[in-house]
Amino acid sequence: MTLLRHAAALAVFLLPGALPAADWRTAAEARIDRIRKGELAVHVEDREGRPVPGVRVEVRMLRHAFGWGTAVAARMLLAEGGDAERYRRAILENFNMAVLENDLKWPQWERDRQPALDALRWLHANGITRVRGHTLVWPGWRWLPADLRQKADDPEALRSRVLDHIRDEVSATRGMLEDWDVVNEPYTNHDLLDIVGREEMVRWYHAAKEFDPKPVLYLNDFNIIEAGGRDEKHRQHFYETIRFLLDRGAPLGGIGIQGHFHEPTPPEKILEILDLFSEFNLPIRITEFDFETKDEQLQAQFTRDFLTICFSHPRVDAFLMWGFWEGRHWRPDGAMLRRDWSEKPAFRVWRELVHGRWRTEAEGATGADGSFRLRAFRGEYEIRAGGRTLRAVCPSAVRVRLD
Tell whether the model's pLDDT for residue 7 goes beyond 90: no
The verdict on residue 140 lying in a domain is yes
Q: What is the pLDDT of residues 85-100, one digit of tens each?
A: 999 999 999 999 999 9
* Domain encompassing residue 230: 67-357
Residue 271 has pLDDT above 50, yes or no: yes
My answer on whether 145 and 284 are in the same domain is: yes
- Same-domain pairing of 397 and 380: yes
Q: Residues 67-75: what's their mean pLDDT?
A: 98
C-alpha span between 276 and 304 (Å, rounded): 22
Q: How far apart are CA 11 and CA 341, in angstroms?
A: 27
30 domain residue, yes or no: no
Residue in 333, 312, 310 with CA at minimum distance from that of residue 322 = 333
- Does one domain contain both 184 and 101? yes
Verify that 264 and 291 share a domain, yes or no: yes
Segment holding 288, helix H or strand E? strand 284-291
Phi, psi of 384 (to 5 degrees): -120, 130
Among residues 283, 54, 86, 92, the alpha carbon closest in space to that of 179 is found at 283
How confident is the model at residue 403, as a pLDDT? 84
Is residue 76 in a domain? yes
The strand pair at 179-184 and 216-221 is best described as parallel
Residue 157 lies in a domain: yes
Same domain, residue pair 320 and 211: yes
Least confident of 17-31, 174-188, 310-324, 325-339: 17-31
Residue 290 near residue 335, CB atoms below 8 Å: yes
Quick check: is 249 in a domain?
Answer: yes
Q: State how far the Cα of 133 lies from the Cα of 181, in Å rounded to an integer.
A: 6
pLDDT digits (tens, 9 = 90+) for 179-230: 999 999 999 999 999 999 999 999 999 999 999 999 999 999 999 999 999 9
> Is the domain of 243 the same as that of 370?
no
Mean pLDDT of the chain: 95
Residue 189 backbone zone (phi > 0: left; psi -120 to 50: alpha; other: beta): beta
The whole-number pLDDT of residue 15 equals: 55
Is residue 5 situated within a structural domain? no
Residue 302 has pLDDT above 80, yes or no: yes
Is residue 147 over pLDDT 80? yes
Claim to verify: residue 43 and residue 146 sit in the same structural domain: no
Identify whether the C-beta of residue 331 lies closer than 8 Å to the C-beta of residue 343. Answer: no
User: For residue 118, what is the enclosing H or E element?
Assistant: helix 114-125
CA angle 314, 316, 317 (to 5 degrees): 105
Beta bridge partners of residue 390, listed in sequence order: 383
Q: Tell me, what's the pLDDT at 6?
A: 41
Inside any domain, residue 1: no
How much of the chain, in percent, has pLDDT values that exceed 90? 94
The CATH number of the domain holding residue 368 is: 2.60.40.1120
3-state secondary structure of 92: helix
Per-residue confidence (pLDDT) for residue 46, from 0 to 100: 95
pLDDT at residue 174 tops 90? yes
Task: Give dist(CA 22, CA 343) in Å, integer.
Answer: 27
Are 84 and 200 contained in the same domain? yes
138, 185 contact by CB (below 8 A): yes
How many domains, the chain? 2
| Closest residue by Cα to residue 94 from 75, 127, 70 | 70
Q: H helices within 151-230, ranges in order?
A: 155-172, 191-196, 200-211
In the prediction, which pLDDT does 48 show? 94
Residue 370: band (very low, low, confident or very high) from pLDDT cuts 50, 70, 90: very high
Nearest residue to 255 (alpha-carbon basis) of 243, 270, 267, 269: 243
Tell me the mean pLDDT in the region 355-375: 98
Asked if residue 142 and residue 280 are part of one domain, the reply reads yes
pLDDT for res 18: 59
Residue 29 lies in a domain: no
Cβ proximity of 97 and 68 under 8 Å: yes
pLDDT computed for residue 8 by the predictor: 44
Q: Are residues 229 and 128 in the same domain?
A: yes
3-state secondary structure of 131: strand
